[in-house]
Structure 1
Amino acid sequence: MHAHQTTLERFYTAFAQLDADTMAACYAPQAQFEDAVFSLRGQREVGGMWRMLCAATRTQGRDVWKLEFSGLQADATTGQAHWEAHYRFSATGRLVHNRIDSSFSFNPQGLIVNQVDRFDFWAWSRQALGTPGLLLGWTPFLRTQVRRKAAANLQKFLAKP
């Protein structure tokens, strides 16, 4: 097993336990993260996102939280993983089962420098938002609104002492 695969194993094991500090320690200072909701630069933002999401899950959805991961593969520069999260979306209280495929790039020190997560935004929005997600989840309008709200929430979270 390549050392970068061990980094992914550590990252997802920590995620399953909602240990955002260990997750954040897997990222390089200049890390970047991209998915349908977030576009983040730097370990502060990326780690902050995981801290925010883990905190919300611990306080509002620990009873239903489950993370499963598989297909961890990595070589000297890249990696990939499949993961599925079962959780309660904090904004609506609705249950979500999200299926995500992640791709990674690593620096020579074995830290994540780039992570891109891909998932079906419309499927997610139908579960997380209900009728608005069903009707508008396929539109750029709703995706933009979700991204703006998530960015504002993260900035508010990062501003806390």
Structure 2
Amino acid sequence: MSRSTLEKFYSAFQSQDASKMAECYHPDVVFNDPVFKNLNHREVTGMWEMLIDRSKGKLEIDFHSIVGDDELANCIWEAEYEFSKTGNSVHNIIHSTMEFKDGLIIKHTDDFNFWRWSKMALGLTGTLLGWSPMLKNKVRKMAIASLDKYLKSQ
């Protein structure tokens, strides 16, 4: 069951269908990645919707290497997009772990190399400072503020 939920989630992401992605989440879901921490259902579904909206159709998603059972599944997914703040092209490789409850995603943890991402997304600033907690914290604050603003506008 977890494999089919994971496949439904990423297939919906490929189709840029945030509402179908949201259907895969348990109401009590918790999401974490290197930028967003402890997002609840409203926040994580809003985050995906915001990212899809901002991509303006220039988002390509691929997923592979799925392993798991009814409780836990992992996969690798890749995103190619234009970072909206700089216009820079990004090819991010993300390792995703999902825990399931009642066939839905209850815990979603994505991990990626922040420095690698920051070099592509932020250019010289990311290359020089992408390793530093200072830049990571700045990006986190900006991302959360952006998500809060997006959610308030909905």
Is the Cα contact below 8 Å between 1:38 and 1:150 reproduced in 2? yes
Q: Deviation per CA, 1:60-94, whole angstroms, max 9, x where unpaired? A: xx24x211110122212101110111100011100
Q: Which amino acid aligns with 2:153?
A: K
How far did 1:52 drift? 0.6
Q: Deviation per CA, 1:91-117, whole angstroms, max 9, x where unpaired? A: 11000000010011000x211011111
Name stretches of at least 5 consecutive residues in structure 2 with no aligned partner. Answer: none
User: Displaced runs of 4+ in structure 1, greater than 2 A?
Assistant: none
Name stretches of at least 5 consecutive residues in structure 1 with no aligned partner. Answer: none
Q: How does 1:14-93 map to 2 (within 5 A)?
A: 14-58=12-56, 62-63=57-58, 65-93=59-87
Look up the SS of the partner of 1:103 in the other structure: strand
Matched, 1:132 2:125: yes
TM-score by length of 2: 0.97
Q: 2:97 aligns with which of 96, 103, 128?
A: 103
Is the Cα contact below 8 Å between 2:3 and 2:70 reproduced in 1? no
Matched, 1:141 2:150: no
Is the Cα contact below 8 Å between 1:26 and 1:111 reproduced in 2? yes
Please tell me the root mean square deviation across aligned C-alpha atoms, in Å: 0.9
Identity of aligned residues (%): 44
Separation of aligned partners in 2, 1:113 and 1:119: 20
Tell me the number of residue pairs that the alignment of Structure 1 and Structure 2 aligns.
Answer: 154
Q: Which amino acid aligns with 2:111?
A: R
Is the Cα contact below 8 Å between 1:30 and 1:41 reproduced in 2? no
Look up the SS of the partner of 1:40 in the other structure: coil
Q: Partner of 1:94 in structure 2?
A: 88
